[in-house]
Amino acid sequence: MAARNKPAGIRSLVYGMGKGKAGIEGLSVSGLPKPKGYRFTYTHSMTPQTWLITGGAGYIGAHVADTFLSSGKEVVICDSLYQGLESRIQYLREKHGKAIPLIVADIRDTAKFDEVLSTYNPYGIVHTAALKSVGESMDKPDEYFEVNFHATTSLLELARKHKIHHFIFSSTAAVYGAPEHSNPVKEDDPKNPISPYGASKLAAEGEVDKFLNFPGNHGTSLRFFNVVGTAGPELIDNSVENLVPIVINKLKAGRLPIIYGTNYQTHDGTCVRDYVDVRDIAQAHLAVADAAAKLPFAMNVGTGGGNSVREVIKLVCAASGDSAVVPVGEDPRRGDPAFLCADVSLIRNEIGFSSHHSLEESIKSLFSQISDN
């Protein structure tokens, strides 16, 4: 994830891939002393399927890296470690038996990314690095545009410079804002984001569209809906923004879950959202990476269905063995739409992708790991 404030003299760590020697002069290797005058010289030519993953130590980015590695691809990780965790990358190294490179740098550090692309010459880029708190974006709109829009624009310019033709952008359902209907949203539905977060992502999509419209370039923007679940405890979501971890942590602390708004025009009065498993999100990235045909500029990634906040809390409580919990109702939050679910027909028709994990499976995968920590 991108750092909140860009520190002076951003520290960068590079880990070799086990094929040839490392490649950026003056960068240190975590856990190893750097002798005076030590210099890395990169000598190995990258395979055609090496992907740079920005934000790759984050919750979603690490799952994408895991899935790409399992498919036989190589990955290079860039992350500021503002919200990302180095422990996730260490887990992936041990799981896959690879010395996965991790470059610690802010996504706004254009010079550093220019250097990284020169050194590793990746086949493509998966861009997940972003600031993503809707509430925080209301207080810091300029920073959100700097990180989510301007840094993406700079990264795309670097991709052009280095003749990288494959680019997958991790976007969000927040670009749709608050639809005035209760039907699954389609990619060509109106985009009216109600937060600087959603607006910054939509603006970035426009730049990605320009890149993808150039002959020979390939990729898409994937609009995630509500992401949940985990492939393992090492990759678990550490966000304080997402509903399921919030509810689980409240139960652990002996406090009642909170429902913000109980009088929406839905079947039980609470907001309805499309909850998609992070493992399915990762598979969608892989399907795009492997697609040969030209793709639409943007595609939804969800389940095509929805669950209310009350239903989600009930499932979490059931997984915890405490079904008697009664959540507390409070006033609705500003800007929360009553219904926001994905129409997934486009991604299914274009690349044959469908989500496979049920919400119950996602919650069970997440709950057992969080509750044990």
Taking a C-beta distance cutoff of 8 angstroms, is the pair 192, 178 a contact?
yes
In a 10 Å sphere around its CB, with 0-12 CB exposed, 13-18 middle and 19+ buried, how is residue 111 labelled?
Answer: exposed
* Tokens of residue 239, six digits: 């966000």
Sequence-ordered strand ranges (E) for the chain? 50-54, 74-79, 102-104, 124-127, 166-172, 218-224, 226-228, 258-260, 272-273, 275-277, 298-301, 307-308, 328-330, 339-340
Provide the pairing of β-strand 307-308 with 272-273.
antiparallel
Active site residue 197: yes
Q: Considering 42, 144, 176, 197, which one is annotated as catalytic? A: 197
Torsion angle of C-alpha atoms 207, 212, 215, 216, degrees rounded to 10? 130
HSE, side-chain direction, 13 A CA sphere, residue 335? 15
Distances (CA, A) of 19 to 99, 218, 230, 321, 362: 9, 28, 30, 49, 36
352 Rama class: left (phi>0) / alpha (psi -120 to 50) / beta: left
| Angle (CA) 257 239 58, round 5° | 160
* Cα gap 361→369, rounded to integer Å: 13
* Cα gap 363→236, rounded to integer Å: 12
Radius of gyration, CA atoms only, the chain: 21
Bridge partners of residue 172, in order along the sequence: 224
Taking a C-beta distance cutoff of 8 angstroms, is the pair 125, 50 a contact?
no
* Cα gap 169→113, rounded to integer Å: 16
**Residues marked as catalytic:** 197
